[in-house]
C-alpha cells in the first residue's frame, strides 16, 4: 500500500523553494548549490497564485513551466503546491466577499495570506480551477512525488457568507429548531430560536466576551466544528480537482501539529499522506517536540508522514529567534524520522530579501554561497541521508501505550467557563506523555475513533467530553484486560457540552467505580498533598472530592477539609483496571505511575538510556531500526540490546557494547527482527 503512495527511493531532502522571487541566473546557481547540499526534493509554487493568474481570464504558466523543467532536468523530485494559500490582490479588489471577517467583526482588506473566506464561492471556484489547471498541465511529470494543497490551512471567518453557511450546516446536522434549542440549551437566558435566520455566529459581537470565553458553549463548539469542516471542504474540492488528472500522485496539505482550530483527526481521513511543519522553540523539551510527531503519525493512522517544513537555523516569528546550535538541526531531523517521517524538509531553500520572512533561516543565506555553517550542516545531513537510502522508508514506529487525544474534547474543556482558568488540555496530555517518553515507552497519540484493542494501556487525561460510543469502547477495552488511566474533570458532558446528570464522571462512573461529588480548583501556587508508595506528591489545579463505589483507593489527600478522601483510585473491571487520578500531580508521580502500569501490562521500554538520550524504534517484517538521539550537550553512552550496524557509519556494533553518543549525537542501528 505504502509503496504506491511513496514516490521516492529515499528520505526526501529539500523543501520550499520560491524561484518566483528570483531571476533565472539565480535559479541556475541554486541548482549548483542544491547538488552540493544533496538536495533532491523541492516544494514549488506555494505562493504563486498572483503570478499564475494575473487577471480573471488569463492564466500564465510560462515561468512555472521553466521551473518545472529545470527541476526535472536537474533530477529533482517535486512537491507541487496548488498556490491557493494566498489569493491575488485583483481578486480581493474585485470580489471583496473572498476577504475574511475577524472574530471582532472587522472585515479585512487585501493583505497577509491564508486569508480567504472558506465559504466564498468565488474563492472556491478559482482555487479549484487553478488546482485543476495545474494538474492537467503537469500530470506527466513523473518527478512529482506529492500534491501540496494550499498551505497551512487555518484561521476562521465570521462573514455573512459564513453565517449563512453555518445555518445550512446546522440544519443538516440537527434537522429541527427544537433539536437545535435542546442541544444548545437555549432555555438558559431565554435564547430560544424560532427561525434559523435568527442564528448568528458566536464571536465578540454575539456570544463571546473573549476569544476563548463564550456564554454558550454549545454554539461556540458547533462553530468550531463548522469552521474546521468549511476549510476541509476547500481542501477536499482541490483534492478532487487534482485527482481527476493525477489519480496516482499522493495528496497532502501541511498540518501544524497541535493546531486547535482544525480537527486533524477528521482532516487526515482525506489525506493520502500526512505532512506537517515542525517549528519548536529552542526552549521546548525533546518530549514537547516528540509529542507532535506522535500526534501527526497518529492522525494518519500510524503510517509514515512527511516532515514538510522545519527551519535549518532560525525562525523570524518567535520573540527570540535563537540559532539552532550546531548539530541540533540534524538531531531534530532524525527525531522526526525516528517517530515516522519519511522526509526531512525545510522552509526555505533561499532567504527572501524583502517582507517578513527575510530573516527566516534558509539553506542558502543572503551571502548567497555555500560557505556558511548552516549550508555545511545541511550538506552533511544530505550526504548521510543518501547513505541511508531506502532502508527506513515505510517502516512503522513501535507503539505499546496510547494517549487519547480528541479535538472536540479540547474545544470543550477550554470553553468550559470554570472550574479553573489553568485547565489546559495539552498541558495535562503533555504531563503523561513526558513521563512515558522519558522512560522510552513507545506511545501513540490516538483519537476516539481509533482501535483501542492494540494497546495495553490507554491514558485519557481530562476526558471531559465523552462522545457517543467512547464509553462503550473504553469499557470493552478494560473488560478485555486493558488498563485505562483517566483524571479529574472527566465524563462531565456529552458531545453537545450538555452535562450528563446522575453524578460525575457520568458515563464513566461504573467503569471507574467512583462518584465525584465536588471539585476544588486551587489557585496557582496552592497545593494539597498525598503519599503514594512512600513518596509525597503534589495535588494541584483541580482536586476532586470523590467516593468509592467499588474502586480501591491507593492514596489520600493529606490536607484541608477533604484530608483522608481518595485521590488515586483503581477499579478492577472485567480482566482489566481503570485508574482515576483525581488531581494534577508532579512529574515524579507521573513517571512512577507510567512505570508501574507499564510493568503490570508487560510493556518494556525500547531501551534503558541515560537522561536525555531518546530511544525510538521503527520496524518492518525484516528489520528494526533503533534510533538513539542524544539531546544533551555532553557525551553519553548506552548499552546495546542486540548486534547491529550503525546506518550512519556502516560500523558493526555488538550486543552489550557500550555505544557512545557525542553531544547532540545520533545513531541508527539496523538490527534483525
Ligand atoms: C510556515 C509556512 C511557511 C513559512 C514558515 C516560516 O510553516 O508554511 O510558508 O511562513 O511558516 O516559519
Ligand atoms: Zn467567511
Cβ of 61 closer than 6 Å to ligand 1, yes or no, is no
Cβ of 347 closer than 6 Å to ligand 1, yes or no, is yes
Give pLDDT, residue 655: 87
Q: Is 288 exposed, middle or buried (0-12, 13-18, 19+ CB in 10 A)?
A: middle
Last residue of a domain, one of 366, 388, 410: 388
Residues across the chain:
673
User: pLDDT tens for residues 462-521?
Assistant: 999 999 999 999 999 999 999 999 999 999 999 999 999 999 999 999 999 999 999 999
Q: How far is the CA of 156 from the centre of ligand 2 (A)?
A: 8
The number of folded domains in the chain is 4
The CATH code of the domain that includes 503 is: 3.40.50.880
| Average pLDDT over every residue of 601-609 | 96
Q: Same structural domain for residues 510 and 466?
A: yes
Q: For atom 11 of ligand 1, which residue has the closest CA? A: 347
In a domain, 446, yes or no: yes
Q: Same structural domain for residues 415 and 351?
A: no
User: pLDDT tens for residues 254-298?
Assistant: 999 999 999 999 999 999 999 999 999 888 999 999 999 999 999
User: Which residues, by Cβ under 5 Å, contact ligand 2, an ion?
Assistant: 117, 119, 157, 159, 161-162
Distance CA 595, CA 608 (A): 12
Give pLDDT, residue 398: 87
pLDDT over threshold 80, residue 3: no
The atom number, within ligand 1, closest to the CA of 151 reads 8
CA torsion 410-411-413-414 (nearest 10°) is 110
- At residue 433, φ and ψ (nearest 5 deg) are -60, -45
In a domain, 528, yes or no: yes
Average pLDDT value over all residues in the chain: 97
User: pLDDT tens for residues 15-53?
Assistant: 999 999 999 999 999 999 999 999 999 999 999 999 999
In a domain, 557, yes or no: yes
Give pLDDT, residue 176: 98
Nearest bound ligand to CA 16? 1
Q: How far is the CA of 410 from the centre of ligand 1 (A)?
A: 25
Q: Same structural domain for residues 292 and 212?
A: no
Three cell numbers, residue 130: 487553478
Catalytic residue among 152, 207, 294, 428: 152
Q: Band of the pLDDT at 657, cuts 50, 70, 90?
A: confident
Q: Same structural domain for residues 583 and 530?
A: yes
Q: How far is the CA of 569 from the centre of ligand 1 (A)?
A: 45
Q: Same structural domain for residues 458 and 375?
A: no
Catalytic residue among 207, 294, 309, 614: 309
pLDDT over threshold 70, residue 365: yes
In a domain, 511, yes or no: yes
Q: Same structural domain for residues 368 and 408?
A: no
User: pLDDT tens for residues 168-194?
Assistant: 999 999 999 999 999 999 999 999 999
Q: Same structural domain for residues 430 and 343?
A: no
Q: Same structural domain for residues 470 and 548?
A: yes
Last residue of a domain, one of 388, 422, 452: 388
Q: Band of the pLDDT at 360, cuts 50, 70, 90?
A: very high
Q: How far is the CA of 205 from the centre of ligand 2 (A)?
A: 15
Helix axes 373-388, 24-36, angle to 10 degrees: 60
> Which residues form the domain of 172?
160-221
In a domain, 10, yes or no: no
Quickly list DSSP for 238-284: HHHHHHHH-TTS-EE-EE-SS-TTS-HHHHGGG-SS-EEE----TTS
Q: Same structural domain for residues 512 and 575?
A: yes
Q: Band of the pLDDT at 2, cuts 50, 70, 90?
A: confident
Q: Same structural domain for residues 378 and 421?
A: no
pLDDT over threshold 70, residue 247: yes
Q: Same structural domain for residues 509 and 631?
A: no
Is 428 tagged catalytic? no
pLDDT over threshold 70, residue 97: yes
Give pLDDT, residue 1: 63
In a domain, 298, yes or no: yes
Give pLDDT, residue 633: 97
Choose one of 85, 255, 314, 357 to mutate for the ligand 1 pocket test, by most ligand atoms within 8 angstroms of C-beta. 357
Q: Same structural domain for residues 445 and 577?
A: yes
The CATH code of the domain that includes 644 is: 2.60.40.1180
Is 152 tagged catalytic? yes
Rounded to two decimals, what is the model's pTM?
0.98
Cβ of 152 closer than 6 Å to ligand 1, yes or no, is yes
Amino acid at each position: 500500500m505504502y509503496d504506491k503512495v511513496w514516490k521516492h527511493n529515499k528520505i526526501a531532502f529539500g523543501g520550499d523553494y520560491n524561484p518566483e522571487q528570483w531571476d533565472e541566473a539565480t535559479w541556475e546557481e541554486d541548482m549548483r548549490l542544491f547538488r552540493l547540499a544533496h538536495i533532491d526534493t523541492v516544494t514549488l509554487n506555494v505562493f504563486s497564485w498572483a503570478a499564475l493568474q494575473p487577471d480573471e481570464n488569463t492564466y500564465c504558466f510560462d515561468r512555472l513551466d521553466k521551473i518545472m523543467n529545470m527541476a526535472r532536468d536537474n533530477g529533482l523530485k517535486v512537491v507541487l503546491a496548488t498556490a491557493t494559500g494566498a489569493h491575488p490582490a485583483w481578486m480581493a479588489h474585485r470580489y471583496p466577499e473572498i476577504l475574511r471577517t475577524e472574530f471582532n467583526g472587522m472585515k479585512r482588506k487585501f493583505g497577509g495570506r491564508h486569508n480567504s473566506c472558506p465559504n466564498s464561492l468565488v474563492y472556491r471556484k478559482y482555487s479549484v480551477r487553478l488546482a485543476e489547471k495545474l494538474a492537467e498541465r503537469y500530470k506527466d511529470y513523473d518527478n512529482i512525488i506529492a500534491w501540496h494543497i494550499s498551505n497551512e490551512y487555518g484561521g476562521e471567518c465570521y462573514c455573512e457568507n459564513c453565517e449563512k453557511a453555518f445555518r445550512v450546516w446546522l440544519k443538516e446536522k440537527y434537522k429541527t429548531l427544537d433539536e437545535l434549542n435542546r442541544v444548545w440549551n437555549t432555555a438558559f437566558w431565554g435564547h430560544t430560536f424560532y427561525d434559523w435566520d435568527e442564528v448568528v455566529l458566536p464571536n465578540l459581537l454575539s456570544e463571546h466576551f473573549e476569544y476563548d470565553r463564550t456564554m454558550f458553549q454549545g454554539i461556540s463548539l458547533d462553530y468550531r466544528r463548522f469552521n474546521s469542516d468549511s476549510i476541509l471542504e476547500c481542501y477536499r474540492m482541490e483534492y478532487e480537482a487534482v485527482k481527476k488528472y493525477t489519480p496516482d500522485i499522493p495528496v497532502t496539505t501541511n498540518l501544524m501539529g497541535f493546531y486547535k482550530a482544525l480537527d486533524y483527526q477528521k482532516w487526515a481521513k482525506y489525506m493520502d499522506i500526512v505532512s506537517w511543519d515542525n517549528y519548536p522553540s529552542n526552549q521546548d523539551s525533546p518530549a514537547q517536540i516528540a509529542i507532535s510527531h506522535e500526534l501527526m503519525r497518529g492522525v494518519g493512522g500510524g503510517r509514515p508522514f512527511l516532515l514538510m517544513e522545519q527551519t535549518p537555523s532560525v525562525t523570524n516569528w518567535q520573540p527570540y529567534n535563537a540559532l539552532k546550535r550546531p548539530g541540533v538541526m540534524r538531531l531534530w531531523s532524525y527525531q522526526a524520522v525516528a517517530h515516522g517521517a519519511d522526509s526531512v524538509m525545510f522552509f526555505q531553500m533561499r532567504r527572501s530579501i524583502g517582507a517578513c520572512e527575510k530573516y527566516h533561516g534558509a539553506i542558502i543565506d543572503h551571502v548567497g554561497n555555500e560557505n556558511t555553517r548552516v549550508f555545511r550542516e545541511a550538506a552533511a545531513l544530505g550526504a548521510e541521508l543518501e547513505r541511508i537510502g531506502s532502508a527506513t522508508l515505510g517502516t512503522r514506529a513501535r507503539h505499546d501505550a496510547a494517549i487519547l487525544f480528541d479535538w472536540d474534547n479540547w474545544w470543550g474543556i477550554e470553553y468550559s467557563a470554570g472550574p479553573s482558568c489553568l485547565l489546559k488540555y495539552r498541558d495535562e496530555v503533555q504531563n503523561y506523555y513526558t513521563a512515558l517518553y522519558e522512560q522510552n515507552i513507545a506511545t501513540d497519540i490516538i483519537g476516539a475513533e481509533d482501535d483501542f484493542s492494540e494497546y495495553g494501556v490507554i491514558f485519557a487525561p481530562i476526558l471531559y467530553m465523552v462522545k457517543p460510543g467512547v464509553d462503550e469502547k473504553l469499557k470493552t477495552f478494560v473488560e478485555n484486560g486493558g488498563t485505562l488511566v483517566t483524571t479529574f474533570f472527566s465524563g462531565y458532558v456529552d458531545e453537545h457540552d450538555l452535562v450528563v446528570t446522575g453524578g460525575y464522571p457520568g458515563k464513566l462512573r461504573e467503569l471507574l467505580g467512583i462518584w465525584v461529588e465536588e471539585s476544588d480548583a486551587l489557585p496557582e501556587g496552592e497545593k494539597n498533598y498525598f503519599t503514594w508508595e512512600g513518596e509525597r506528591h503534589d495535588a494541584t489545579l483541580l482536586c476532586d472530592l470523590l467516593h468509592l463505589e467499588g474502586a480501591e483507593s491507593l492514596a489520600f489527600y493529606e490536607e484541608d477539609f477533604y484530608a483522608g478522601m481518595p485521590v488515586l483510585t483503581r477499579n478492577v473491571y472485567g480482566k482489566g483496571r481503570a485508574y482515576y487520578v483525581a488531581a494534577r500531580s508532579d512529574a515524579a508521580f507521573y513517571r512512577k505511575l507510567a512505570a508501574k502500569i507499564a510493568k503490570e501490562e508487560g510493556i518494556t521500554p525500547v531501551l534503558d538510556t541515560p537522561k536525555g538520550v531518546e530511544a525510538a524504534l521503527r520496524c518492518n517484517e525484516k528489520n528494526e531500526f533503533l534510533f538513539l538521539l542524544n539531546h544533551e550537550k555532553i557525551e553519553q553512552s548506552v548499552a546495546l540490546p542486540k548486534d547491529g550496524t550503525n546506518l550512519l557509519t556502516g560500523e558493526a556494533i555488538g550486543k552489550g557494547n557500550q555505544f557512545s553518543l557525542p553531544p547532540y549525537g545520533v545513531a541508527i542501528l539496523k538490527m534483525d527482527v
